[in-house]
Amino acid sequence: MIPDIINELGENRESYFNAGSPPIFSTSNFLFDKVKDMREAMVTSNEKPFYTRGHNPTTRILEKKIAALENTESAIAVSSGMGAVAIGMLSQLKSGDHLICIKKPYTGTDKLTNKILPKFNIETTFIEGKTIDEFKNAIKSNTKLIYLESPNSWTYEMQDLKKISDLAKEKNIITAIDNSYASPINCNPSDWGIDIIIHSATKYIGGHSNAMGGIICSSKKIIDQMYECEYTLLGNVMSPFNSWIFINGLRTLKVRMKQISKSTPKIVKFLKNHPKIKKVIYPHSKNFDQKNLVKKYLKNPCGQFSIQLKSQSKKEIESFCDKLHHFKMACSWGGYESLIFPEIARYNSSSKYYNDTEFLPINYIRFYIGLEDKKMLIDDLKKALN
């Protein structure tokens, strides 16, 4: 990981008047005077820009920085995290193939595997994924992809990345992971042999809740294949303006993560000791049941955890959420602002999810800690709990 040189990486300042912040190349076309030049740009489309649904210089800067952060040879930026998940999966699977996916992935990923993949005759086996034997038992002769989230961003089950990638390599299966929870600062799955690393850039990478984007990191070979096919043909392009926003986000990613790593455990501790809280689920808690995996794979504490209130009363649970002043409610996370997502908000909507579990308990609330002062956040919690 080389975040300290992230400012220079990928930038060609001399080609744009040494601007410190790169220009937003807001253009669809790149123009040519000579057939020879046009032909050259078409053949080496990875190096010379030809058309923005493919190569845009602002986006390319972002891609180079992220590839370096994730320790992979290459990366492509797409229009959302779900766009990255979709390309990651569709590029590795064809009709008749089998996918192994962890049981409680991000809700959009869950729906993709349940609604879109079956249309193409792709079968998915969902496993909890806590032991390597579960993976061994789930592998079939047509298994082509193992899809992970370690941890996921609701219930935080983790997987042993090294053991899984060793097993997958032996069986010629590609591994992919949604690494959004940890960000490239707190986990680099390629170091453990994982082939494809996916981020919702909308979250930590952007960091300001002001743009949607997704990133896929992998070997040059895998990214070039995606580039030629799913990326350009499904039209899942990041706008140059968003690429510029994410470059800005990357410049402060390390310090934002540092702040979050410091404040989140303190807030977790406060909640754990509060008499109205039944339990707190957080990978960096002492009583987390996969402590050894946390130690091995997560470099620092991250900003998401969940709590269960003691109360089962709908009125009390909603009143607690409504009374929080500094924690707003939203589905996303990873920005400057602290947020909650109460499970109870999902009740009465048609938004059922997860293959077999449907809803979590009514008193379950997902927290994200932003960049605010921890004392202010704890005071807010205290008031709402009382």
Classify strands 214-218 and 74-78 as parallel, antiparallel or unpaired: antiparallel
Task: Using DSSP bridges, classify how beta strands 328-329 and 143-149 pair: parallel, antiparallel or unpaired.
Answer: unpaired
| % helix, strand, coil for the chain, step of 5 | 40, 15, 45
Phi, psi (degrees; rounded to nearest 5) at 246? -70, -30
- Among the residue ranges 23-31, 48-56, 198-206, 373-381, the one whose residues contact ligand PLP (CB under 6 A): 198-206
HEC profile of 7-76: CCCCCCHHHHCCCCCCCCCCCCECCCCCHHHHHHHHHCCCCCCCECCCCCHHHHHHHHHHHHHCCCCEEE
- Map the footprint of ligand PLP across residues 36-65, applying CB under 6 A: none
Does 157 engage in binding with ligand PLP (CB under 6 A)? no
CA 376 to chain centre: 28
Stretch in the footprint of ligand PLP (CB under 6 A) among 53-61, 75-83, 289-297, 317-325: 75-83
* Interacting positions 137-156 with ligand PLP (CB under 6 A): 153
106 binds ligand PLP (CB under 6 A): yes
Alpha helices (H) along 282-340 = 291-297, 314-323
Closest CB 170 distance from ligand PLP, rounded Å: 28
CB of 267 to ligand PLP, least distance (A): 20
CB of 177 to ligand PLP, least distance (A): 10
What does the per-residue mask of binding to ligand PLP show for 310-349, with x meaning CB under 6 A?
Answer: ----------------------------------------
**Binding segment toward ligand PLP, per CB under 6 A, in 121-129, 199-207, 319-327, 344-352:** 199-207
Distance CA 137, CA 156 (A): 22
**CB of 82: closest distance to ligand PLP in angstroms?**
4
Q: How far is CA 14 from CA 18, 198, 243, in A?
A: 5, 31, 20
Query: How big is the site for ligand PLP, counted in residues (CB under 6 A)?
Result: 14
**Residue 372: CB partners within 8 Å, gap ≥ 6?**
326, 336, 337, 338
Exactly one of 81, 129, 189, 301 binds ligand PLP (CB under 6 A); which one?
A: 81
* 326's tokens: 């500094």
Q: Counting contacts by CB under 6 A, is residue 214 touching ligand PLP?
A: yes
**Judged by CB, which is closer to ligand PLP: 49, or 334?**
334
The yes or no reply on residue 6 touching ligand PLP (CB under 6 A) is no
x/- track of binding to ligand PLP for residues 178-197 (CB under 6 A): x-x-----------------
Least separation in angstroms between CB 215 and ligand PLP = 10
CB closer to ligand PLP out of 85 and 294: 85
Q: How far lies 87's CA from each of 80, 131, 221, in Å?
A: 11, 27, 15
113 belongs to the binding site for ligand PLP (CB under 6 A): no
Q: In this chain, which of 82, 164, 176, 247 binds ligand PLP, going by CB under 6 A?
A: 82
The single-letter DSSP state of residue 303 is S
- DSSP notation for 272-288: HT-TTEEEEE-TTSTT-
* DSSP-assigned letters across all residues of 345-364: GTTTSS---TTTT-PPPTTE
To ligand PLP, the closest distance from the beta carbon of 280 in angstroms equals 19
Work out which of 56, 175, 200, 263 binds ligand PLP, going by CB under 6 A.
200
Sequence-distant (≥ 6) Cβ neighbours of residue 340 within 8 angstroms: 321, 324, 327, 328, 329, 365, 366, 367, 368
Return the residue nearest ligand PLP (CB atom): 81
Binding site for ligand PLP (CB under 6 A): 80-82, 85, 106, 108, 153, 178, 180, 200, 202-203, 212, 214
